Amino acid sequence: MTMHTAPSTPAPLGAQIASQIAGAFDWWGEAGVDTLFTDEPVTWLAEKRDPAAAPQRAATPLPAAFAEAIAAAKTPVAETTEQAARIGGDTSSLPQDLAAFDSWWLQEPSLDSGHVEGRIAAKGPTQAPLMVLVPQPEDGDAAAGQLLSGPQGALLRAMLATMGLAEESIRLAAALPRHMPHPDWTALNAQGLGGVLRHHVALAAPRRIIAFGGNILPLLGHNLPQNPAVLPSVNQDGAGNSHGKLDSAPAPSIMAMPDLATMLERPRAKAVFWHHWLNWQD
């Protein structure tokens, strides 16, 4: 004998929705979420409590030191004067001969936020046929006591020999007084490093400049280059020539190339340099 089961009557729609909502609440509750965060927090599952039933805990006062620190942070800080923040200080006080500048370079606190240890001075004569500018000393230069004492210096010496220039005949200088891992060149230029470098160039009065590293050109008053470039001259505006002693020196032309570290890693960069150097002689 076959038995027939009567079909069950479906629950009303409202009951189904209520069951689904309750199931969703249970799921979120097991997941540890019991509050809906909106502009006004709404408690979903927590039991309602009478605010008057439980005494409110008094706020714990901040320690005096914390309160003073917060008050100090809200107090407007007096703006630092341009001269105090400027690298090299007042441009009118910059040394007006090369020997004095080299000594000043090792001692002037504003060049590097007061740090004077590990600085390396430039070397080479005034009115040299070529001035070589690099962004900064190599990592081991402070210990060696010599600018470009490592692989970059070895490459430069080999290049100079190929170019027919004696090392002692050129002026070699770095834009920074000591090695820095990640200098902020834009900020340094805004603080006056470019003016100091242009003043250095004016004192050295070289006939030509090779700038290794794209960050040097903005310090010399030109736009950041995208490719190797030959420029007619250094922009001497704001170079600290306050006494008019440097006006008669002709501005040297510049050849801007990738930095020496890049040339060590990319043999093609050496060929590009040589091509530009030969064209520069014409």
Give residue 65's pLDDT band: very low, low, confident or very high (50, 70, 90): low
Please determine, for residue 166, whether its predicted confidence score (pLDDT) is greater than 90.
yes
Burial group, residue 134, by CB count within 10 angstroms (0-12, 13-18, 19+): buried
- Domain assignment of residue 128, given as a range: 95-280
For residue 109, tell me if it sits in a domain.
Answer: yes
Q: Inter-axis angle of helices 267-280 and 151-163, to 10 degrees?
A: 40
pLDDT at site 89: 81
Mean pLDDT: which of 21-35, 38-52, 73-87, 100-114 is highest? 100-114
pLDDT at site 243: 39
For residue 33, tell me if it sits in a domain.
Answer: no
Range 12-41 average pLDDT: 68
Give dist(CA 112, CA 206) in Å, integer.
26
> DSSP class of residue 132?
E
Give dist(CA 69, CA 175) in Å, integer.
39
Please determine, for residue 112, whether its predicted confidence score (pLDDT) is greater than 80.
yes
For residue 201, tell me if it sits in a domain.
Answer: yes
Give residue 230's pLDDT band: very low, low, confident or very high (50, 70, 90): low
3-state secondary structure of 202: helix
For residue 78, tell me if it sits in a domain.
Answer: no
Dump pLDDT digits (tens) for 192-216. Answer: 999 999 999 999 999 999 999 989 9
Question: pTM (2 decimals)?
Answer: 0.66
For residue 34, tell me if it sits in a domain.
Answer: no
Please determine, for residue 77, whether its predicted confidence score (pLDDT) is greater than 70.
no
Domain CATH for 119: 3.40.470.10
Our count of domains for the chain comes to: 1
Distances (CA, A) of 256 to 81, 134, 170, 209, 215: 34, 10, 17, 8, 10
Please state which of the ranges 22-36, 87-101, 104-118, 266-280 shows the lowest mean pLDDT.
22-36
Distances (CA, A) of 200 to 21, 124, 143, 178, 179: 77, 12, 24, 16, 19
pLDDT at site 210: 95
Please determine, for residue 185, whether its predicted confidence score (pLDDT) is greater than 60.
yes
Range 94-109 average pLDDT: 94
* DSSP-assigned states of every residue in 69-121: HHHHHHSPPPPPPHHHHSTTS-GGGS-SSHHHHHHHHHH-GGGGTT--TT---
For residue 159, tell me if it sits in a domain.
Answer: yes
Please determine, for residue 26, whether its predicted confidence score (pLDDT) is greater than 90.
no
For residue 82, tell me if it sits in a domain.
Answer: no
For residue 17, tell me if it sits in a domain.
Answer: no
Average pLDDT, the chain: 79
Please state which of the ranges 30-39, 58-67, 75-84, 264-273 shows the lowest mean pLDDT.
75-84
